[in-house]
Structure 1
Amino acid sequence: MHPMDHSAYLAVRENATVLEADGSGDKVLLLEDGTILKLFRRKRLISSALVFPYARRFADNIQALKQRDIPCPDVIATYRIASISRDAVRYTPLPGLTLRQVLSQDGDHEQLRVELGAFIARLHDQGVYFRSLHLGNVILTPDAKLGLIDISDMKCQRRALSQRKRLRNFQHLLRYKNDRAWLVDGDAGSAFVAAYAQGRTSRFIAQLKSLLA
């Protein structure tokens, strides 16, 4: 990680748009050049973030996704900004629209359910466990591929996810009422499950259908 002094931070932040903030300050900034600066605060004085900073984890997750040929942002650099007690990662955002944005537009989105089911299956088969899995974090790129953003809360392993982890990850996805409605209302669940469950055991398919019911 690169140290960034306060004057350099102020210069980078000049004319930035605050995309996300909380009571402790800025969290995500859209910089003047179109790149993103994501800021991380250590919540405790003694924390694993001292040894393995959140900004570094974010960058490592991006590298892991790129190794698996999954579209995601491009990291420019990671920083430690001591003057504001923050670590940061600067990156180029993944172009496209979130699936929530796509679904807000008129059109037939039936095929998108199938593509999403296959995409999540690919993530799980490649060992990607994305706790923040929801339609606001999945991007449809201009070349019609699905990719991921906001991947701080992610773990990647060498082996495919176990059935238990797969089902648990679906529980994360189904926490969001509107996401769940689009995925499983009517015959939608059948198309989504069929795309995800191709080649899975009948027992797992039954468990997944029960979860989506």
Structure 2
Amino acid sequence: MIALSENQFKTLTENATTLESDGLGAKVLKLKDGSFLKLFRKRSLFSSETFKPYAIRFAENAEKLRALAFISPNIIRIYSLSGPINATAVHYQPLPGSTLRSELSNSSAERNKQLIKQFGALLAKMHESGVYFRSAHLGNILVQPDGNFGLIDLADMKISRFKLTLNKRRRNLKHISRYKEDSHWLFELFLEEFKAGYSQHAEESVKKLFSNQN
């Protein structure tokens, strides 16, 4: 992790575009060279951020995902910012494409069936690979120009050496179902396609996992 002074931060983010923000300020910046800078502000003295900064988690997860043959952003650097900003930051090359949520909103029913089936296969592959992605909603899945799916917003993720238990898989589906629009596509309109995609990598888990979704 590289320490970045306030002046260095201002130089790095000169002419940057704010893509996301909250009450504390910018969260994601698009820099003038097209790369992204994602900030994780420290909200309290004693938190999980203190023991393992989210910027490091993001970067480590990106590397682990690529090792497991998933598509994730390429990390450039990790920064520590002191002073008034008091945050860690990850600098990375963004993935091309649009979110799966956006694609589903602007595609035909037939294409949506294909996309949902593909997402089901991706989710099952993650579960079988030990990836517990709490933020695996459809806004964090990118449909790339070549049709493959990429993963973004990686800090809230745990990756183990063992495939996920049925309980963790159910919890992951519950997280996804909290988003009304996503839930409508996945568990109402295209549930059968979702299940068919999931069964490509985890056929034995489908019946138990989706038993409460019918």
How far apart are 1:148 and its partner, in Å?
0.6
Matched, 1:207 2:199: no
Provide the C-alpha distance between the structure 2 equivalents of 1:104 and 1:194, rounded to a whole number of angstroms: 21
Question: Which whole-Å CA distance do the structure 2 matches of 1:31 and 1:76 have between them?
Answer: 13
What is the TM-score with the length of structure 2 in the denominator? Answer: 0.92
Corresponding residue for 1:157?
A: 160
Query: Percent identity of the aligned residues?
Result: 44
Query: Which position in structure 2 is the counterpart of 1:90?
Result: 91
For the residue of structure 2 that corresponds to 1:180, the secondary structure is: helix
**Distance (whole Å) between structure 2 residues aligned to residue 11 and residue 111 of structure 1:** 44
Are residue 168 (structure 1) and residue 171 (structure 2) matched?
yes
**Cα distance in 2 for residues equivalent to 1:5 and 1:209:** 50
Does 2:125 match 1:122?
yes
- CA–CA distance in 1 between the matches of 2:159 and 2:172? 13
Name the residue aligned to 2:34. Answer: 34
Q: TM-score, normalised by structure 1?
A: 0.93
- 8 Å contact kept, 1:20–1:29: yes
Aligned to 1:45: 45
For 1:170, the aligned partner's letter is: L
Is 1:192 the equivalent of 2:194? Answer: yes
Where do 5+ consecutive residues of structure 2 fail to align?
A: none
Amino acid at match of 2:158: K
Given that residues 193 and 208 in structure 1 are in contact (C-alpha distance below 8 angstroms), is that contact kept between their aligned partners in structure 2? no
CA deviation profile, 1:9-67 (whole Å, cap 9, x unmatched): 00111111111111112211111111111111122112332331111111111111111
Q: Helix, strand or coil: the match of 1:210?
A: coil
Unaligned runs of 5+ in 1: none
Compared CA separation, residues 185 and 46, structure 1 to 2 (3 A): closer
Q: 1:141 aligns with which of 144, 149, 157?
A: 144
Distance 1:133 1:55 in 2: 18
Which is worse superposed, 82-91 or 156-165?
Answer: 82-91
Match of 1:16 in 2: 16
Residue identity matched to 2:209 = L
> Aligned residue pairs: how many?
210
Per-residue CA deviation, residues 149-182 of structure 1 (Å, 9 max, x unaligned), is: 0111000001111111111101111111111111
| In 1, Cα distance between equivalents of 2:107 and 2:41 | 39
Contact 1:135 1:179 in 2 (8 A): yes
Find the aligned partners of 1:100 and 1:82 in 2 and give their Cα distance. Answer: 36
Whether the 8 Å contact between 1:36 and 1:92 is mirrored in structure 2 is yes
TM-align CA RMSD: 1.5
Task: Provide the C-alpha distance between the structure 2 equivalents of 1:48 and 1:111, rounded to a whole number of angstroms.
Answer: 39
Give the 3-state SS of the residue equivalent to 1:211 in structure 2. coil
